[in-house]
Amino acid sequence: LVRGMEVADTGSPITIPVGPETLGRIINVIGEPIDERGPVNAKHTAPIHAEAPEFIEMSVEQEILETGIKVVDLLAPYAKGGKIGLFGGAGVGKTVLIMELINNVAKAHGGYSVFAGVGERTREGNDLYHEMIVGGVIDLKGDKSKVSLVYGQMNEPPGARARVALTGLSVAEYFRDKEGQDVLLFIDNIFRFTQAGSEV
């Protein structure tokens, strides 16, 4: 975008493809596939800006999410429906832990995961994608993929990076609301998300 460009008002919000067709695929902030595997032929679409669910719709039960990682389940258990922050320096294994969580939730609970990469380096995003293929979380040949990837990388404008989390959230909300699935939503990394917001 540059100053003075002509724009066309569609009269509708940013709408992205959602549903099982997004599993194993990489999309950007506006739902375009960026994995060079053709279009995402989803039967459903959803706007990235939506109303939050009512409080009465939320569960009041307190339940532990069994991750299958013994040290996490024993020392710092995760609550279902809660928020968790993974803090650590570069190269200490945050992404490895995320990979393990995605793998375990897929195998133990049959649930899906959505990974929103906000402001990631292109190399980091590429490495994660190939690690997931090797780990069996993404199935290139069949329909056994258990994760959707949404990337807004460092080379994107700040407006795109600031909205990637909303795109990932919309994909996750479809699985939660329409398919009744347990969904893990990962946003990596929150610092770059807030940085993009301040740049805007």
Residues annotated as catalytic are: 94, 120-121
Distance CA 15, CA 11 (A): 11
Q: Which residues contact 13 (CB under 8 A, 6 or more apart)?
A: 47, 48, 49
Distance CA 136, CA 117 (A): 20
